[in-house]
Amino acid sequence: MRILIYELARGLRARDHLVDIVWPRPQPSRVLQAINATSYDGFNVTAFTFQASTLPFARNYHKSERLTARLSAYLAQRVREGPYDLMHAQHVMTVPPAIAAAKASGVPVIATVRDYWPVCYWSDLLHTRNGLALCPECTIGNMTRCIQPRAGRAWPLALSMIPYMRANLARKQRTLADADAVIAVSRRIADDLRARAPELGVTRIEVIPNPVNMHALRALASRQPMTIRAPSGPYALYLGKIAPNKGTSFLVPAIERADLDWPLIVAGDGPDRSALEQHAASSGRDVRFTGWIDQAAAAEWLAHASMLIFPSRGPESLSRVLIEASALGVPIAAMDTGGTRDIIEPGVTGLLSSSPEGLAEDVRTLRRDDALRARLGAAARRRVETEFDAAAVVARVERLYTELIARS
């Protein structure tokens, strides 16, 4: 998220816009509301620090209803002391207070939605731990199901929070509907907002992807000397969080079914790592775990990979991993979930499957066909340069700014 905001801010500054950034910082320790001005790369950054409980539901209340009342007042004051032409909220914590402040101050406001928080209390549309089915809607029955895998043995006690969950979600939808425009980072996000949140029926929704600095990415990927220990020959790569929504339980079965004779590098960490390590060990396949890695190491692992396996059960809003792999010309076998089709055109810039078995067959296909891997990688690289490079994305955002400011 911070990288995305930085790329947008940097691009706007290059176009002669003045950009100030307000950054909410929840802290678990007892702290009075604190406002600290600092700077980063020449940008004015205001850290808005507040206390947020670590307890489930209480944490969400502090980051939502309680924060909105405090931060909206501060933002409205900032605008009045301005001058500011527009506010652009970038996160679930900032969207409600920014919209409230903008309406009180008479400036246009845009909200970027990067995941499913306006239509799902948990932001992921997953109401079961396993399987491919997504939650169809936030009914009491479905909320009862989605609480169970998250609350564990305490889930009967958590059922009493369903009225709060429903009210919280409805409040977010009503507030988001008051934005002058909503930017959805993928067509899937836009479609789900329209289908699952009737309040947004007349709200302007624009599909504009996240910006990625292709030049900086490729510089990281090609730096010398290398900081990673990559295999000397071809390898497949999984890059990301090791968690249920990422479909990592499909990884080992996929390489087994595909009879993949390359090493599989699993770059990342997460709650399901131990289970995945055990599964990999029992399979007898060459699966190597790096643990958590930083952005630079991720770029290097991608740059030298012969294939990216993307097993996500989703729904992915718009995967940065897929965009970066495409920018580096890495052939991709991915599950068809969420906004993935905004990045991958099946058979043209990658291979998409609708099941774990299909994913395995795509891995097998890529392993056996050198020419196909080269063709898909080259086409993917060309596509993301025109649609996802930071300069092109920032230009689209700027045009929206200009239009809204002219109407205000």
Specify the pLDDT at position 201: 92
Among 59-63, 182-186, 220-224, which stretch is predicted with the lowest mean pLDDT? 220-224
Calculate mean pLDDT across residues 308-335.
95
pTM comes to 0.93
Q: List, for residues 198-213, the tens digit of each pLDDT value.
A: 999 999 999 999 999 9
Give percent helix, percent strand, percent coil of the chain, each to the nearest 5: 50, 15, 35
Specify the pLDDT at position 1: 56
Is residue 310 exposed (0-12), middle (13-18) or buried (19+ Cβ within 10 Å)?
buried
CA distance 94 to 225: 41
In the chain, the amino acid numbered 27 is Q
Domain boundaries in the chain? Answer: 2-211+390-407, 214-387
Write the class of the CATH domain 2-211+390-407: alpha beta
Q: What letter does residue 210 receive in the DSSP assignment?
A: P
CA distance 274 to 280: 10
Q: List, for residues 140-160, the tens digit of each pLDDT value.
A: 999 998 898 888 888 888 899
Architecture of domain 214-387 in this structure: 3-Layer(aba) Sandwich (3.40)
pLDDT at 51 over 70: yes
Specify the pLDDT at position 289: 97
Return phi, psi of residue 306, to 5°.
Answer: -95, -10
CA distance 89 to 346: 33
Calculate the average pLDDT of the chain. 93
Is residue 252 exposed (0-12), middle (13-18) or buried (19+ Cβ within 10 Å)?
buried
Closest residue by Cα to residue 317 from 143, 116, 106, 154: 116
pLDDT at 30 over 80: no
User: Which helix H or strand E contains 20, and what residues bound it?
Assistant: strand 20-27
Contact (Cβ atoms closer than 8 angstroms) between residue 310 and residue 321: yes
Quickly count: other Cβ atoms within 10 Å of residue 70's Cβ: 14
Specify the pLDDT at position 32: 62
Q: Which residue has tokens 């071809």?
A: 234
The structure tokens listed for 241 are 């969080």
| Cα pseudo-dihedral 312, 195, 95, 163, rounded to 10 | -90
Calculate mean pLDDT across residues 362-371.
98
Pairing of strands 34-40, 43-51: antiparallel
Specify the pLDDT at position 31: 65
CA distances from 78 to 69, 105, 338 (A): 15, 10, 37
Same fold, 2-211+390-407 and 214-387: yes
- Name every residue whose Cβ is closer than 8 Å to that of residue 53 and which is 6 or more positions away in sequence: 28, 59, 61, 62
pLDDT at 130 over 80: no
pLDDT at 288 over 60: yes
CA distance 107 to 186: 26
pLDDT at 19 over 90: yes
Contact (Cβ atoms closer than 8 angstroms) between residue 119 and residue 92: no
Among 13-17, 105-109, 120-124, 126-130, which stretch is predicted with the lowest mean pLDDT? 126-130
Contact (Cβ atoms closer than 8 angstroms) between residue 98 and residue 67: no
CA distance 332 to 344: 9
Q: List, for residues 66-115, the tens digit of each pLDDT value.
A: 999 999 999 999 999 888 999 999 999 999 999 999 999 999 999 999 99
Specify the pLDDT at position 126: 84
